[in-house]
Amino acid sequence: MSASPLLNALEQHLALGRVPMHMPGHKGIASPLDRMGDLLRLDTTEIPDTDSLYEAAGPIAEAMERASALYKTKRTLFSAGGCSLCIQTMLRLAVPQGGKIVAGRTIHRSAVNAMALLDITPVWVLPRPDAGDGLPGRIYPQDIEAALTENPDACAVYVTTPDYYGVLCDLKGISAVCRAHGVPLLVDNAHGAHLKFAAPGAHPLERGASITCDSAHKTLPVMTGGAWLHIAEDAYCAEAPSAMALFGSTSPSYPIMVSLDLCRAWLEEEGTAAFSRLKEQVEDVRRHALALGMTLPQGEWDPVRITIGTGPLGLTGHTAAELLRQQGVEPEYADGLHVVLIPSPFNPEKDYVRLKNALSALPGCRTPLPKAGTVTALPKVAASPRQALLAPGERIAIDDSVGRIAAEASCPCPPGVPVVAPGEIIDQEAAKILKSYGICEIKVIK
């Protein structure tokens, strides 16, 4: 039989036996998914006995109702296309005819692309860098208020919280502003599916979101691609399945949907206890990192995320991540100043012992790294995101890009603050920041 390079690569990686401090939350061993047994048996299609996601009226409808009851929503839909599909769906629901949206600039590319496809024009609100050096920071209610006042024709507000680093915005404040202006609040909660259990009261549904989405597979025992779209207002319930069907595959994966349902059952029974144990384990690692001279984000952040600033040790996040790998720990992500680790209740105790030992083994050259450059101003706009994304484009070197119009979002950290978004003119400052993050090429309009 011909070789499968992908299967071989996965098997070789697994044979290394590294501590998985990355997604998915099931860590390959989560007991709530044991009931699935042989996945191929469950990999079926829409036949009368198995229901159909976008026209659910049988077991899928019942499973989604149970998820809705757990999260106390008006309606919850399963997504087998990740949070990306939920983001497309919520934008379609809230801004169906295109138009303006006030959007926090800390944003995932699926949202930028969906806005372009739906002819939605973002009015950007920059985060204030209040979480620490090199972190995007938080979107402030006052800044949303100012943007809505200046743009009374905006149809909705869109924010991402928590961000990749686990940093949380003042969502209660933002939702109060949205209510006062009579616009819905859409929240990308890809990284916070577990917040209801890890930090009761901190899930966007508990802080006033109109529609939000959870990338359940990131932090919970759910197969990759499993996410929930949660709707808190009646007005969006009826259209939600057809809005999702506009973008989603007509063959959503049954194993993924089953894993969402099994996770819901596990959360009902064990979620709170499992996450309070995890919080203690994470707190212990954080204390250890602080004692070794590393930094943590400031202000409110996810109590079960481990984001470690390695700059004070004189190590870039990339170097620290590579050293952790050599010590048998596989991180989720690294940037110039941080390593991000995503633990879950399914990391056994020994994983934390290995992690702490690996952190202790990081060398510190004791010459702290210089502070990171941040995006403080928005570039000029020359075209709508839709025009820019759909226009013929070419990929060019950043060195040649000043004065050209970006045809894609370019971001130092994939779900971070884009230095330029589609339709914006790349200026000297943007080119300099992109190069400082090691980004050498960008797609521009021809």
Minimum distance from residue 217 beta carbon to ligand PLP (Å)? 6
Minimum distance from residue 360 beta carbon to ligand PLP (Å)? 29
Minimum distance from residue 27 beta carbon to ligand PLP (Å)? 17
- How far apart (Å, rounded) are the C-alpha atoms in residues 228 and 380? 36
In this complex, which beta carbon is closest to ligand PLP, that of residue 393 or of residue 416? Answer: 416
In this complex, which beta carbon is closest to ligand PLP, that of residue 257 or of residue 315? Answer: 257
Q: List binders of ligand PLP among 219-238 (CB under 6 A).
A: 227
Q: Which residue type is seen at 356?
A: K
In this complex, which beta carbon is closest to ligand PLP, that of residue 114 or of residue 313? Answer: 114
In this complex, which beta carbon is closest to ligand PLP, that of residue 160 or of residue 212? Answer: 160
Minimum distance from residue 343 beta carbon to ligand PLP (Å)? 17
Minimum distance from residue 359 beta carbon to ligand PLP (Å)? 24
| CA nearest neighbour of 141 among 173, 103, 180, 101 | 173
In this complex, which beta carbon is closest to ligand PLP, that of residue 256 or of residue 406? Answer: 256
In this complex, which beta carbon is closest to ligand PLP, that of residue 219 or of residue 401? Answer: 219
Minimum distance from residue 120 beta carbon to ligand PLP (Å)? 16
| Cβ atoms of residues 216 and 260 within 8 Å | yes
Q: List binders of ligand PLP among 47-86 (CB under 6 A).
A: 82-84
| Integer angstrom CA distances of residue 294 from 287, 312, 320, 424 | 10, 6, 11, 36
In this complex, which beta carbon is closest to ligand PLP, that of residue 83 or of residue 167? Answer: 83
In this complex, which beta carbon is closest to ligand PLP, that of residue 81 or of residue 393? Answer: 81
Contact map string, positions 260 to 289, toward ligand PLP, x by CB under 6 A: ------------------------------
- How far apart (Å, rounded) are the C-alpha atoms in residues 155 and 96? 10
In this complex, which beta carbon is closest to ligand PLP, that of residue 84 or of residue 212? Answer: 84
Minimum distance from residue 292 beta carbon to ligand PLP (Å)? 27
Q: List binders of ligand PLP among 338-357 (CB under 6 A).
A: none
Minimum distance from residue 82 beta carbon to ligand PLP (Å)? 2
Q: What is the 3-state secondary structure (H, E, C) of the chain?
A: CCCCHHHHHHHHHHHCCCEEECCCCCCCCCHHHHHHCCHHHHCCCCCCCCCCHHHCCCHHHHHHHHHHHHHCCCEEEEECCHHHHHHHHHHHHHCCCCEEEEEECCCCHHHHHHHHHCCEEEEEECCECCCCCCCCCECCHHHHHHHHHHCCCCCCEEEECCCCCCECCCHHHHHHHHHHHCCCEEEECHHHCCHHHHCCCCCHHHHCCCEEEECHHHHCCCCCCCEEEEECCHHHCCCHHHHHHHHCCCCCCHHHHHHHHHHHHHHHHHHHHHHHHHHHHHHHHHHHHHHCCCECCCCCECCCCEEEECHHHCCCHHHHHHHHHHCCEEECEECCCEEEECCCCCCCHHHHHHHHHHHHCCCCCCCCCCCCCCCCCCCCECCCHHHHHHCCEEEEEHHHCCCCEECCCECCCCCCCCCECCCEECCHHHHHHHHHCCCCEEEEEC
Q: List binders of ligand PLP among 173-202 (CB under 6 A).
A: 188, 190-191
Minimum distance from residue 229 beta carbon to ligand PLP (Å)? 11
Among 18, 108, 305, 443, binds ligand PLP (CB under 6 A): 108
Minimum distance from residue 81 beta carbon to ligand PLP (Å)? 7
Q: How many residues bind ligand PLP (CB under 6 A)?
A: 13
Minimum distance from residue 190 beta carbon to ligand PLP (Å)? 3
In this complex, which beta carbon is closest to ligand PLP, that of residue 215 or of residue 401? Answer: 215
In this complex, which beta carbon is closest to ligand PLP, that of residue 220 or of residue 358? Answer: 220
Q: Which residues have CB under 8 Å from 316's CB, separation 6+?
A: 310, 334, 336, 337, 369
In this complex, which beta carbon is closest to ligand PLP, that of residue 92 or of residue 108? Answer: 108
- Written as six digits, the tokens of 178 are 């949205």
| Cβ atoms of residues 385 and 421 within 8 Å | yes
| Cβ atoms of residues 190 and 218 within 8 Å | yes
Residue nearest to ligand PLP (CB): 82
Among 32, 255, 415, 423, binds ligand PLP (CB under 6 A): 415
Minimum distance from residue 84 beta carbon to ligand PLP (Å)? 3
| Residue 215 interacts with ligand PLP (CB under 6 A): yes or no | yes
Q: List binders of ligand PLP among 139-168 (CB under 6 A).
A: 160, 164
Contacting residues toward ligand PLP, per CB under 6 A: 82-84, 108, 110, 160, 164, 188, 190-191, 215, 227, 415
